[in-house]
Amino acid sequence: SYELTQPPSVSVAPGQTASMTCSGEKLGNRFPCWYQQKPGQSPVMVIYRENKRPSGIPERFSGSISGNTATLTISGTQAMDEADYYCQAWDSGTVVFGGGTKLTVL
Amino acid sequence: EVQLVESGGGLVKPGGSLRLSCAAAGIPFSNAWMGWVRQAPGKGLEWVGHIKVKSDGGTEYAAPVKGRFSISRDDSKDTVYLQMNSLKTEDTAVYYCTTVDMTGFLAYWGQGALVTVSS
């Protein structure tokens, strides 16, 4: 079965750039997207189709892909961005999630 | 504004059944693929399955629930259902209703319904 690999945790200082990766075979062909989940809340989509930002999501969130690795970048990270982030891909008509990365804003 | 509201969660014994409902508003429901995602306590997100629009036909399920869970929809009520049978303790989770784009992204999520499977 298809798998997506994310680092368990990433730390960043306020105002700096946070980068979170997601790796999977031929990920560029699988429409990677990203979700933010804060404690006690439902997930919110922050990036879809690799690099598209839904309305209402701040411009500091961006997505990219290189080879088999997708990256979610948060520029000028704020304390409110502290959350779990999940990548997700579309594999043969099914949804696959990565294990999630806990972003800590120090 | 899009709203997805789940209901029907609760405590059930192992081997029992439960049906979750998800009422949608603010979307053209009959044209929307709908799905379910669950999250066990302290764990990550896990896809459960989804249902396509009637013209596309069909459902897809994750391996751990295939044969035990089924998803259906009533377009006249803008509601999608998750019927869960032969429940196991490992099915304990918050179950989220989502919209599903045909390229796989989950744009909208409900608030979640807690299902606890315990004797």
Q: What does the pLDDT look like over B15-47, one tens digit per residue? A: 999 999 999 999 999 999 999 999 999 999 999
Q: Which of B44, B111, B112 sits opposite A86 (nearest CB)?
A: B44
User: Which residues are within 8 A (CB) of A97 and not within 5 positions of it... i.e. 6 or more apart?
Assistant: A4, A86, A87, A88, B37, B44, B45, B46, B47
Residue among A29, A41, A42, A87 with most chain B CBs within 10 A, to mutate: A42
The closest of B92, B91, B96 to B113, measured between CA atoms, is B96
pLDDT tens track, chain A, 106 positions: 899 999 999 999 999 999 999 999 999 899 899 999 999 999 999 999 989 999 999 999 999 999 999 999 999 999 999 999 999 999 988 999 999 999 999 9
> Could you tell me what percent of chain B has a pLDDT over 90?
93
- Verify whether the Cβ–Cβ distance A95 to B50 is below 8 Å: yes
Res B57 pLDDT > 80: no
- Verify whether the Cβ–Cβ distance B109 to A54 is below 8 Å: no
Res B79 pLDDT > 80: yes
pLDDT at B96: 98
Q: What is the least distance, in Å, from the CA of A57 to any CA of chain B? A: 12
Res B55 pLDDT > 90: no
pLDDT at B45: 98
User: Which residues are within 8 A (CB) of A19 and not within 5 positions of it... i.e. 6 or more apart?
Assistant: A10, A71, A72, A73, A74
Secondary structure (3-state) at B46:
strand
**C-alpha span between A90 and A31 (Å, rounded):** 6
> Could you tell me what percent of chain B has a pLDDT over 70?
100
Rg (CA), chain B: 13
User: Which residues are within 8 A (CB) of B96 and not within 5 positions of it... i.e. 6 or more apart?
Assistant: A42, A43, B6, B36, B37, B38, B39, B109, B110, B112
Per-residue pLDDT band for B64 (boundaries 50, 70, 90) equals very high
Residue among B105, B108, B109, B114 with most chain A CBs within 10 A, to mutate: B105
Judge residue B55's burial from the number of C-beta atoms within 10 Å of its C-beta, 0-12 exposed, 13-18 middle, 19 or more buried: exposed
State the Cα torsion A7-A32-B30-B92 to the nearest 10°.
-20
Output the six-digit token pair for B15. Answer: 């081997």
pLDDT at B56: 81
- Verify whether the Cβ–Cβ distance B60 to A49 is below 8 Å: no
Chain B residues with CB-CB distance to A54 below 8 A: 107
**C-alpha span between A9 and B76 (Å, rounded):** 44
pLDDT at A93: 87
